[in-house]
Structure 1
Amino acid sequence: MKKFLERAGLRAVPAMPWPADSPDVKRLDVLVAELFPDMATAMNSENADIADAFICFLGECYIKFARAQWFDYEWRGREHSFYDHVNPALRWRFDDGGNDADEEVTAWSLMESVAMSSKYEEGFSSVAYDLRNDYARRTGHTVT
């Protein structure tokens, strides 16, 4: 994660999710679009270190803002995971209108979503939006 933080010019994950108009979000959108314009680039072995650092960064964001936990999802082959023989995923619980529900996302699926949004330089904005919503559901505090 430290490698990505340094590349992004961040000291740490902030105490609260980034507001939609945050200069950090705009800068991260540009950086993520450069690094991961598509899944082929993200999955390229030459990008393994920075992809891993970014995945760890995203995981830390979900842990901090959604109280997520890492777990090992079913491994479906290397074409659906950034790692050999392991498929890390995040799971968090939220109250969905009176019904507790679990949300799960694999690192691969999260990166796929980021890469698809990167076409429009919104790769990190899409994640930041979800993080703000998950944080608001969990805490009752809206971040604008």
Structure 2
Amino acid sequence: MSRKILGLVVVLSLGVQSAALSSEQAPMYSEDFVLSVEECDPVREQFTHPFTGQRLHREIHELKGDVCIYSEEMPGGMAMDCNWPVNDLSTLSAQYKQLSNAKSVTVSNGVTTVDGEEIDSLLEMYLSTGVCTFRF
């Protein structure tokens, strides 16, 4: 998923009911990152948080058993840690690419809309099922 959707999911998980962003900036994820997600190839990149403008890092660490270990810095000294199931990596990579290329992303009451089309957000599911967790 793109940094926009990650930011939106974080905002939603903290109690905001809806949020929207439009894209007038560079792609949210590099092509290298999107490709690395699909294969769980280790990569670390810097990104600009869509709400705060902070420069933060995200990293694919390693493939460990049947999960891909991922972490992302969040504003306020928080972080998100994920154990992505390897069976989801191709779909997750495609979703990151879709979000990265989106002109608009809206999240409202748990429904993610990309360029006017509702999607089943893996990250939202991961947050609700514990695949991804926050560190404070």
Provide TM-score, normalisation by structure 1.
0.30
Largest Rg, 1 or 2:
1
Provide TM-score, normalisation by structure 2.
0.31
Higher helix share: 1
